[in-house]
Amino acid sequence: MGSKRTSRRELLKSGAAAAGGLAVLGQTPASAQTSQFGTPLHDTMPNMPMSGTTPTGTPMIKGTKELVEYGQRSHFVTSMRMAHPMGGRPSPDMFGKTFHVAAPLQDSVGVVTPSSLHYFATTRGAFVPDIDPKQHTLTIHGVVDRPITFTMEDLKRLPSVTRLHFIECAGNRHNARHKNVQESHGMTSCAEWTGVPLSTLLKECGLKSSATWFVAEGAEEVKGASSMPIAKAMDDCLVAYGMNGEAVRPQNGYPLRLMVPGYEGIFHTKWLRRIKVVDRYYMNYNDYGHLEKTSKEAALAFQIGPKSVITAPSGGQQLPGKGFYEISGLAWSGGGAIRAVEVSTDGGKKWNRAQIKGTPQRMAHTRFGYGWNWDGNETEIVSRCTDEIGQVQPTREEVAKYWNVPFDRNYRVPGLDNSVMPWRIARDGSVTNGLA
């Protein structure tokens, strides 16, 4: 302890002397001074306390083995996930089980959700499997010519693809009680996923002509299973082992998860261990949540419609005063890439074309921005998007009209709720839920 203090004092003294000498005397640094400053710096750094002071007064972070090996965000950044919904089931609960956890979209920039902040959910509140990748295998069988069991090593030998994709939980439904965008929309995130196209694996196995559906199954306690059309598997599904440049996180399915771009979150089978190719809709386990009275309504519970939300300014935030703000938000669709986003700053009377940041990717969050001068009056801001196949994000009234049912405040959009989300801005600059 004593030696640490001494060496820090020595460093500060020599640093201050060097800086003071330069400032006061206006001298060019002599080579002797530079080396005098440089040498002790290298010698004493390992013994510095967590936060030291440079000659100019900026606190410094001491390098530790942990920080060198695996980085950490600034302690000034406090953005956090939270249990979803508010007042619902706690995550973690008293046993250490987690249920639904929402991402802090109000703090998001760009389109990638950091893995540590990526939303996640378990089927009914569960522990997260701790899987040894050396023991883990994926077996594909059913109506195929050759069933195959792949180890993780096998999968990594095959040609890979890397793509940005959002995932969104069907429970991501905004209502009048939500205070901020994390509560209203936090059950979606977007990451860069790396893995093997499922079509590659299915071609290895050889599909029989009766193959029309497949059932994906995870290794968690309930062996959660979901049925999906084989056409989707052959189109763009991915067996992913990589997430944002490293291995998929345990909460998101380590060591292997199925990506079903644009489908509801529950289909993206985590801890993927088995795929059974079948000749009909199996309706196993997770599928019962998708059973609807008619096939028309059921169809809405697979692929997600076009959806967008303004993340800043959004509920709970505060505008310091009138003047310029870039309204920023996210748009996404299960139907493909986002083609256009519009923003209204007068509660939906006039719509303005927003700027799309970067190149929109298929079934990925797309960042949009709209430059706005707030005149200080109360108003409502809202966004809506159009995807590459021409689907337009609706209002709840429009959805009710399609289904020919009376609209009221409690109207429930069938399938995943992709209706627009208004934020109200008061004269004092406070931002609140426009549905409230």
Partner 1 sequence: MGSLKFAAIALLLASPALAQSYGVGRTPTPDELRAMDISIGPTGDELPVGHGSAKEGAIIFQAKGCAGCHGKAGAGAMAPELQSNKGQDLPVWERGRGKSGWMILPLTAPYATIVWDYIHRGMPLGKEGSLTADEVYSLTAYLLFLNKVIPEDQVLDKESLPKVKMPMASDDYGRLPDWKHGAPRLAGYNH
Structure tokens at 151: 């180890």
Q: Is 426 in the site for partner 1 (CB under 8 A)?
A: no
Q: Is 364 in the site for partner 1 (CB under 8 A)?
A: no
Strands 137-142 and 272-278: parallel
Nearest residue (CB) to partner 1, 97 versus 357: 97
3 state DSSP class of 38: helix
Strands 238-243 and 188-197: antiparallel
At a CB cut-off of 8 Å and minimum separation 6, what does 114 contact?
244
Strands 161-168 and 188-197: antiparallel
At a CB cut-off of 8 Å and minimum separation 6, what does 392 contact?
306, 384, 385, 386
Cβ atoms 172, 121 nearer than 8 A: no
Cβ atoms 111, 190 nearer than 8 A: yes
Q: Is 151 in the site for partner 1 (CB under 8 A)?
A: yes
Binding residues with partner 1: total (CB under 8 A): 70
Nearest-angstrom CA–CA distance, 342 and 151: 46
Rounded least distance, CB 387 to partner 1, Å = 9
| Binding segment (CB under 8 A) for partner 1, from list 56-64, 277-285, 315-323, 372-380 | 277-285
Q: Is 411 in the site for partner 1 (CB under 8 A)?
A: no
Rounded least distance, CB 361 to partner 1, Å = 15
66, 69, 145, 408: which one binds partner 1 (CB under 8 A):
145
Cβ atoms 282, 290 nearer than 8 A: no
Structure tokens at 288: 């019962």
Rounded least distance, CB 345 to partner 1, Å = 23
Residues 161-200 that bind partner 1 (CB under 8 A): 200
Q: Is 319 in the site for partner 1 (CB under 8 A)?
A: no
Q: Is 147 in the site for partner 1 (CB under 8 A)?
A: yes
Q: Is 276 in the site for partner 1 (CB under 8 A)?
A: yes
**Site residues (CB under 8 A) for partner 1?**
124, 139, 141, 145-151, 154-155, 157-158, 200, 203-204, 206, 215, 217, 221-223, 225, 229, 231-232, 235-236, 273-274, 276, 278, 280-285, 287-289, 291, 293-296, 298-300, 302-306, 334-336, 388-394, 398-399, 402, 415, 418
